[in-house]
A = this chain, B = another copy of it.
Amino acid sequence: MASTHFATRLANAIRSSGTPLCMGIDPHPAMMPSLFGDVSEAGHPRTIRAISDFTMACLEAARGRVAAIKPQAAFFEAQGPDGMRVLAALGRAAVDSGMLVIMDAKRNDIGSTNAAYAQAWIGHEAPFPSDALTVNTYLGLDTLEPLLARADAVGAGLFVLTRTSNPGAGALQDLDVGGKPLFHNLAEQLAPLATARCDAAGRSALGIVAGATWPDEARALRAILPSAPFLVPGFGAQGAGPADALAGLTRDGDGWQNGLINSTRGLIFPKSAADAGDIASWRDAIDQAISDSCAALASV
């Protein structure tokens, strides 16, 4: 059981790995090196085996080198129920070995149904084990209640979609609400909920997703949510540099705090790994990609 506070575990993971870097694990068949096998047919046993081998190899490469992993549910779902079995096994292997797992499933529904999503996705004992889950609150802040109840009970975290990394993020998120963009309003609604679930060091288990491609927005969000961890997608392949990615985090004597900088393609699909002839040279390429990203973040 993850009985410690999520924010404490997050801070420990950043300190022990020496970086706020998070490895996104998106088993995109079209990007997987041929080394791992034929993935041309969705749901086929050989595709499932290749995706299992690839994602477990990513986890091995991540161990001790990054603060967390963030599996993307969509790519496992695209393989059907057997893909979901791979995701469950990946989450189990990761939490059992002490690696922090952010399940990126962006779940959302009305309250009574969110209780079922909470059961599925939140905590080390869930069928899809995690330390934290990404969620969407367009349906209203009342829908967070069963998710928070579960997260609080098992020492897990939540990351609420607030300002996302995609080019069209502003279509709803930037709409002017009383002189401020909508995502500020959402952050203000989240603020008391974040404040209410801090660890002894004042760090909250309720966080937000704040895309690396919008550094000014991340700084504004940090002012509204001083205690919330930020999950920052968009670093690397999506175009954001290290300074932009770190804009919403804070720094103390131990290094960067209060957030995770996610990179997916830059870490698990570096160009140098695409044509690897064997697992050892693939692993060397991934190790180098992690080192390069850590160094880039440390240079800020």
Q: A interface vs B, CB < 8 Å?
A: 26, 28, 42-43, 72, 74-75, 77-85, 87-88, 106-111, 113-114, 116-117, 119-121, 127-128, 136-143, 161, 164-173, 175-178, 182, 185-186, 189
Contact = CB atoms under 8 A, between A and B. Distances in A.
Given A42-B119, A177-B175, A74 B113 contact: yes
Contacts of A128: 77, 80
A116 B78 contact: yes
Given A74-B117, A78-B117, A78-B120, A137 B182 contact: no
Contact of A80 (B43, B77, B120): B120
Contacts of A111: 166
Interface centre among A81, A127, A140, A165 (most CB of B within 10 A): A81
B138 A161 contact: yes
Nearest to A127: B80
Contacts of A136: 106, 108, 136, 138-139
A169 B182 contact: no
Contacts of A176: 177-178
26 contacts: A26-B116, A42-B127, A72-B113, A77-B116, A78-B119, A78-B127, A80-B84, A80-B120, A80-B128, A81-B82, A81-B85, A84-B84, A106-B107, A108-B108, A110-B166, A136-B136, A139-B161, A140-B167, A140-B172, A141-B168, A141-B171, A141-B172, A142-B166, A142-B168, A142-B171, A171-B189
Given A108-B106, A116-B77, A121-B77, A138 B172 contact: yes
Nearest to A189: B171
Nearest to A209: B139
A169 B298 CA distance: 42
Contacts of A109: 72, 74, 106
* Copy count, this protein chain: 2
B114 A140 contact: no
A74 B116 contact: yes
A127 B169 contact: no
A120 B165 contact: no
Contacts of A84: 80-81, 84
A169 B142 CA distance: 8
Given A28-B116, A165-B110, A172-B182, A79 B127 contact: yes
Contact of A164 (B78, B139, B165): B139
A167 B177 CA distance: 21
A114 B175 CA distance: 23
A179 B177 CA distance: 10
A110 B171 contact: no
B74 A120 contact: yes
